Structure 1
Amino acid sequence: MSRICDITGKRTRVGNNVSHANNKTKRKFYPNLHTKRFYIPEEDRWITLKVSSSAIRTINKNGISAVLKKARKEGKTF
């Protein structure tokens, strides 16, 4: 499974570890993802999404229906 947020599209970033001697080695920065179930009362069903912590806060603020509507408008499918 890929490490991509279903709502925000956040994905793994690439960067460097930098030592005290300024040696650089490649590393990855992973997004803070959680697999979470959400209930959609309009459709009377549960959906499971892999979402970042920032997406969870957005869902808590705006509601799952509004967030899914905006994501579908941007071309994401669930």
Structure 2
Amino acid sequence: MSKMCEVCGKKPVVGSTISHAHNVNKRRFNPNLQSVRALVDGKAKKIKVCTSCIRSGHVVKA
């Protein structure tokens, strides 16, 4: 299962952690995904949705 929002398509982005000594390491910023029972085509289905889609009302909960 991919770490991607099924409504808006938000997925992880890559960045860097930079220490005080400027040591640079790669890191991932993952979206805040939640499993939600939502209405998809009139039927209840479990989907992974980011919290910004839930708060903005793009998802109708079953």
TM bin, normalised by shorter chain, reads: 0.7 to 0.9
Report what 1:58 is aligned to.
Answer: 56
* Structure 1 or 2: more helix by fraction: 1
Alignment of 1:14-29 (within 5 A): 14-29=14-29
TM superposition score normalised by structure 2: 0.83
Structure 2 residues without counterparts, runs of 5 or longer: none
Q: TM-score, normalised by structure 1?
A: 0.67
Aligned pairs, number: 60
Counterpart check, 1:38 vs 2:52: no
Percent identity for Structure 1 against Structure 2 = 38
Q: Please give the secondary structure, in 1, of the residue aligned with 2:28.
A: strand
* Deviating 4+ runs (over 4 angstroms): none
Amino acid at match of 2:56: T
Rg (Cα) greater in structure:
1
Q: Which runs of 5+ in 1 are unaligned?
A: 65-78
Distance 1:18 1:54 in 2: 27
More strand by share: 2
